[in-house]
Amino acid sequence: MKIASWNINSVRFRMDIVARFLKEMAPDILCLQETKAENAQFPMDALKGLGYPHIVINGQKMHHGVAILSKVPLVEDRSHDWQDNGEARHIGVRLPNGVLLENVYVPAGGDIPDREQNPKFGQKLDFLGRMIDWSSSLSEPTILTGDFNIAPLESDVWNHRQLIDVVSHTPIEVETLARLQASHNWVDLGRHFVPAPERLFTWWSYRAKDWSVSDRGRRLDHMWASPSLREQAVSHTVHEACRDWDKPSDHIPIVTEFAF
């Protein structure tokens, strides 16, 4: 089973590349973040027509939004309000084999890494704190994926020294994400298959004239699994070519294959 995750930055605006990815890469499941569509506006029929009849969504007008598209049946559709303000940032399901799949879009956190000067940064840390409480109580095999908006390792950014005070790579964010990982002994499948310090980026800013030449990337998108699923993870791939597709997202898809 191939499970993909992609911050698409508007599913309706980028429907063409979503369709291309589904046709060319054919994942069994695709978790989308930042869909930017209310539930009634989500392109349900078009995606079902591409061979994904099982779709769960948690949408919001203009902002945020998450969805799971699947070739296999999904049960126990649910969402957690880890932002504590009603924002659509999580959707979770149970797979046919009983494994839980959780799709999350962690807040970016604004530009200033200080909760007093920038309430958005505090909201991000509090969001992760609520995730830690949830994660600590997990007792079932679970896959946690999505846009975490944190690049935890020095090798997860193009220049550690230049970005250490930049939101997404600050020490307090890295430490908080480490506590989340420790709360369930999550296996970071990206680094399980591509050990640090090997290059592994999933996001490049739109500001770069040529993203591939400057290569100022960060690893913001992640696929984690419960320790009991470690041996069932077969491979992990990042699809950099998608960053060059027409009207690209600033994120690329990540895909993990499991031997279920």
What number is the average pLDDT over the span 191-199? 98
Say whether pLDDT at 76 is over 90. no
Quote the distance between the C-alpha of residue 61 and its chain's center. Answer: 20
Q: Which tens digits make up the pLDDT trace of 80-105?
A: 999 999 999 999 999 999 999 999 99
Strands 66-70 and 54-58: antiparallel
With residue 134 as reference, give the H or E element that holds it. helix 119-136
Q: How many CA atoms lie within 13 A of 132 on its CB side?
A: 15
Supply the pLDDT for residue 209.
87
Q: How many CA atoms lie within 13 A of 170 on its CB side?
A: 17
Q: Which tens digits make up the pLDDT trace of 198-253?
A: 999 999 999 988 999 999 999 999 999 999 999 999 999 999 999 999 999 999 99
Supply the pLDDT for residue 241.
97
Do the beta carbons of residue 238 and residue 199 sit within 8 Å? no
User: Minimal CA–CA distance to 79: which of 97, 61, 101, 96?
Assistant: 101
User: Which alpha helices (DSSP H) does 169-231 contain, by range?
Assistant: 171-182, 189-193, 211-214
Residue 28 sits in a domain whose CATH number is 3.60.10.10
Q: Is residue 149 left, alpha or beta, with left meaning phi > 0 and alpha meaning psi from -120 to 50?
A: left
- State how far the Cα of 179 lies from the Cα of 129, in Å rounded to an integer: 9
- State how far the Cα of 241 lies from the Cα of 256, in Å rounded to an integer: 17
User: What is the span of the domain harbouring residue 233?
Assistant: 2-258
Residues 79/235/181/163 CA torsion (nearest 10 deg): -100
What number is the average pLDDT over the span 184-197? 98
- State how far the Cα of 152 lies from the Cα of 72, in Å rounded to an integer: 32
- Quick check: pTM over 0.95? yes
What number is the average pLDDT over the span 23-34? 98
Question: Please, which pLDDT band fits residue 62 given cuts at 50, 70 and 90?
Answer: confident
Higher pLDDT, 213 or 62: 213
In the numeric block, which tokens belong to residue 201? 């980026």
Do the beta carbons of residue 191 and residue 185 sit within 8 Å? no
Phi first, then psi: what are they for 146, rounded to 5°?
Answer: 140, -165
Q: Which tens digits make up the pLDDT trace of 133-156?
A: 999 999 999 999 999 999 999 999
Bridge partners, residue 56, by sequence: 68
Domains: count for the chain: 1
Question: Does 197 sit behind a cis peptide bond, omega within 30 degrees of 0 on the bond before it?
Answer: yes
Do the beta carbons of residue 76 and residue 92 sit within 8 Å? yes
Work out the angle at residue 229's Cα, subtended by the Cα atoms of residues 225 and 231, and round it to the nearest 5 degrees: 120
Q: Which residues contact 38 (CB under 8 A, 6 or more apart)?
A: 59, 60, 61
